[in-house]
Structure 1
Amino acid sequence: MTTDPKSDGGVTQSPNRPFGLPRWVIGVVPILLLGLVVGGFVATTPLAGVDGGEPLPDVSIDYTTLPNDDTIRLHVTNNAPEPVTISQVHVDDANWQFEMTGAGGDRTLEPLESATIEIPYSWMEEYDYSVTVIADNGATFSTTIVAANSSPGLTGQVVWTLTVIGFLIGIVPIALGIMWFPFMQTMSKKWLNAMLAFSAGVLGYLIFDGGFEAFETAQSVPSGYSGPLLVVLGISGAWLLLQAVMDWLTDDEGESRLSLAYSAALGIGLHNLAEGLAIGAAFATGRTSLGMFLIIGFMIHNVTEGPVIIAPLADGNRPSLVHFVAFGLLAGAPAILGGWIGVSTQSPLLNTLFLAIGVGALLQVVFDIGDIVRRTGSIRSAPNMMGFAIGLVFMYATGLFTL
C-alpha cells in the first residue's frame, strides 16, 4: 500500500486547500501575525526606558552658488532622523548674518528637508572661502568654495549657449555616425558581427565610465538617501525594466532589432543627459571655460555612438528616414536638456540617478547585442574580440580629449 505524499494523518490534502483551508487564508495569516507582533511592540514600548541619547545632527551642504558678488548661497539638507535648527553661519571663521528659505519659514530643518541659506557677503573672484554652518547644539558642517566665480543663472544667453553646446556634442556626432549606415549594409556578416562587437566595446566603456562617475557623485548625495544604494537600484532597475519591455514588445527578429536600436539610443541619451547635467552645473558655478578644443574632443568621443545605434539594423532592410531622425534626437537631444537642468539645479541626487539609470540601460543593450552575435556566429571569434577591444581603446583614447 502506497502513501499519498500530500496526505497528512490519512487525510488527503488538496494543493488548492492546504491544511483544509482556503489558499487566501494561508496567504494572509503571516501578514496578520506580523501586524500583531508590530502592534504588541508599539503598545508595550519595551525600549521606552532605555536612554540611547540624542541622535547626532547631520546636515549636508549639497552645493553652493554665487548669484552675485555680494551673496553666497548654500543648499543644505538635513539627513538626521530628528529636526535640526541652524543657529549660526561662519565665513572664514567670522560670524555672519543669514536668511534661510524653504524650511517652513524658520531655521529648523525637518528630517530629509532641504533649504537655501543666503549669506550677504562681498566675495572676490578666484579666492577660496571656507563656509561653516553651525547647529543649535554646536555641531558644525563646513564646505570650501574654491576659486569663487559668479553663477550666471538661467538667462537667455546661457540657455542659447547650452543649446549650441548640447547640439554640437550630442546631436551632431550621433547624426554623423548614423550616416555610416549605407556603408555598414555592404559589410559581410562576419564583419557586421565585428561591428556589433565594436558597439558592445563602446557601450562597455560608457558603462564603466558612467558607473565610476555615478558612485563618485553618490558621495555628494545627502546621506539620508543612501547614494551608493541608489546607484545599485538605478542600474539594476533600469536594466531589468528595459529587458522586460524588450521581451514583451515582440519576438519578431526584424522588429526586435529595431527595438534594440531604440534601446541603444535611449541608453546613450540617458548617458548624454548626465553629461549635459555636468556641463550645466559647470555654468551654474561660474566655470564656463568649455573651450573649442574640449567641444571638439566631445564630438570625436561621441561620434561612435551613431554606429552603435544602427549596427543591429545593418543586416536587414533599411528603416524609414523617420526612425533615423528619431534615433538622433533620442540619443543626442538629452545633452541639451541636461544642460538646462544642470544650470537650474545642481542636484547630486538627480545627477547620480540619471547616471545609474543610463548605465543600466546600456548594460541591457550590451547583453542584447551579445545575443545577436551569438545567434549568427561565435562571440569568441578573433574579429569579434578585436572589435570589442578596439571599441574600448577608441573610447578611452578619445576620452582623454575631454578631461
Structure 2
Amino acid sequence: MNYLLYVSLIGFFSGTLGTVGGGLIVLLVREIKTKFLSIILGISSGIMTVVIFLDLIPEAQITGSIWSSLTGLFLGAMLISILDMLFPHQNFVSIDDDESHYLKAGILLAVGIALHNIPEGLAIGAGYSSADNLGLGLAVIMAVQNFPEGMAVATTLSLAGLKNVEVILITLLSGIPMGIGSFLGAYLGNISNLSLSISLGLAAGAMLYITFDVLIPDAHKKAEGYTAIFGIINGVFLGLILSNFL
C-alpha cells in the first residue's frame, strides 16, 4: 500500500507541477512567444518518442510477449482516440472575442487535459512497476509535457477574465488525475507479468498517439523557422540522456 501511495504521489506531483508551472508562466510573462511554445512542444515530443521506442515497448515485450505488448499498444491508442473524439485535446483554440466563449473553451480544455492525464499517469505507474528509473524518467517527461497544456488553460481562462487564483486552481485540478492514473498503472502492473506487459504497451500506445497527433503537429504549427525541428532533435538527445542515466 505504501508503494502505491508513493507512486500515486509521484504522478500527482508530475501532473500538477506541469500544469501549474505552465499556468504560472502565462500569468507572470503574459505574452508567450510562439517560438518558445514550438520549442517546448518539440522537446516534449522528442523525449517521448525515445521513451516509447527504447523503454516502454521493449520492456512490454520482455515482461510479456510481442502479442501482449501489441494488445496494450492498440488499447492505449484507441483509448486516447476515443477521448479525443469526446474531449478534443488541443493546446490552443480559436474562438470569438467574447469572455463567455473563452470561459467555456477554457473549462472544456481543462476537462480534456484532465481526462488525458489518466492514461499518461498510467504510463508512470506501469513504468515504476517495471523499474524505478523508468517510472521516474516518465514522471519528469510528463511534467515537461504538461507545461504547454497548463499554459493553454491559463491563457484561455485569463482571457475570460478569471482571477489569477482561480486560473491556478483550475490548472491544478486538470493535473490531479495523473495521480489516479499512476495508481492504476502501479496496481495493474503488479498483478502479473502479463498485466504489466499490457499496461506498458497501453502507456506506449497512449503516448504514441499524443506525440504524433498533438505534440509534433502543434510544434510545427507554432514554429518560426526551424524552432520545431530544433526542439524535436534536442528532445531526442535529452530522451537518450534520461533513458541512460535516470
The CA deviation at 1:398 is: 3.6
Q: 2:36 aligns with which of 194, 207, 222?
A: 194
1:313 alignment partner AA: V
| Structure 1 letter corresponding to 2:31 | S
Q: Which is worse superposed, 297-306 or 267-276?
A: 297-306
Alignment CA distance shift 1:176-1:161 (3 Å): same
Rg larger in 1 or in 2? Answer: 1
| Larger strand share, 1 or 2 | 1
1:37 maps to none
Pair 1:352-2:201 in alignment: yes
The 5 A counterparts of 1:67-106 are none
Query: Does the alignment pair 1:171 with 2:8?
Result: no
The change in CA–CA distance for 1:398 and 1:209 in structure 2 (over 3 A counts) is closer
CA distance in 2, matches of 1:161, 1:236: 28
Other-structure match for 1:63: none
Counterpart position of 2:182: 335
8 Å CA contact 2:122, 2:183 repeated in 1 = yes
| Contact residue 171 and residue 328 of structure 1 kept, 8 A | yes
Q: 1:383 to 1:204 in 2, by over 3 A?
A: closer
The residue identity in structure 2 corresponding to 1:279 is Y
Write the distance in 1 (CA, Å) between the matches of 2:135 and 2:65: 32
CA gap of 1:262–1:161, structure 2 versus 1, over 3 A, is same
- Post-superposition CA distance 1:183-209 (Å, at most 9, x none): 2342534x2442244124313422442
* Shift, 1:258, TM fit: 5.5
Normalised TM-score (structure 1): 0.45
Pick 1 or 2: higher relative contact order, CA cutoff 8 A, min separation 6: 2
Q: 1:260 to 1:215 in 2, by over 3 A?
A: same
Structure 1 residues 339 and 349: CA distance shift in structure 2, 3 A:
closer
Q: Which structure: greater helix fraction?
A: 2
TM (norm. structure 2) is 0.67
What is the percentage of aligned positions where both structures have the same residue? 13
- The Cα shift of 1:163 comes to 1.1
- 1:270: which partner in 2? 119
Tell me which amino acid in the other structure corresponds to 1:310. Answer: G
The verdict on how the C-alpha distance between 1:263 and 1:214 changes in structure 2, with shifts beyond 3 A counting, is: farther
Q: CA deviation at 1:304?
A: 1.5
Please give the residue correspondences for 1:107-122 in structure 2 after superposition, counting only pairs within 5 Å.
Answer: none
Q: 1:366 aligns with which of 200, 206, 215?
A: 215
Selected match of 1:183 from 10, 15, 25: 25
Does the aligned pair in 2 maintain the 1:227–1:349 contact within 8 Å? yes
Query: Equivalent residue for 1:205?
Result: 47
Task: State the AA in 2 paired with 1:333.
Answer: I
2:43/2:234 contact within 8 Å kept? yes
The match for 2:225 is 381
- Note the C-alpha offset of 1:368: 6.3
Alpha-carbon deviation of 1:307?
Answer: 0.8
Query: Following TM superposition, by how much is the alpha carbon of 1:269 offset from its aligned partner in structure 2, in angstroms?
Result: 3.7
SS in 2 for 1:369: helix
Equivalent residues of 1:163, 1:336 under 8 A apart: yes
Q: Residue 279 in 1 paired to residue 128 in 2?
A: yes
2:148 corresponds to 1:305: no
Q: Is the CA contact (8 Å cut-off) linking 2:126 and 2:199 kept in structure 1?
A: no
Q: How far, CA to CA, are the matches of 2:39 and 2:72 in structure 1?
A: 27
**How many angstroms apart in 2 are the aligned matches of 1:264 and 1:172?**
15
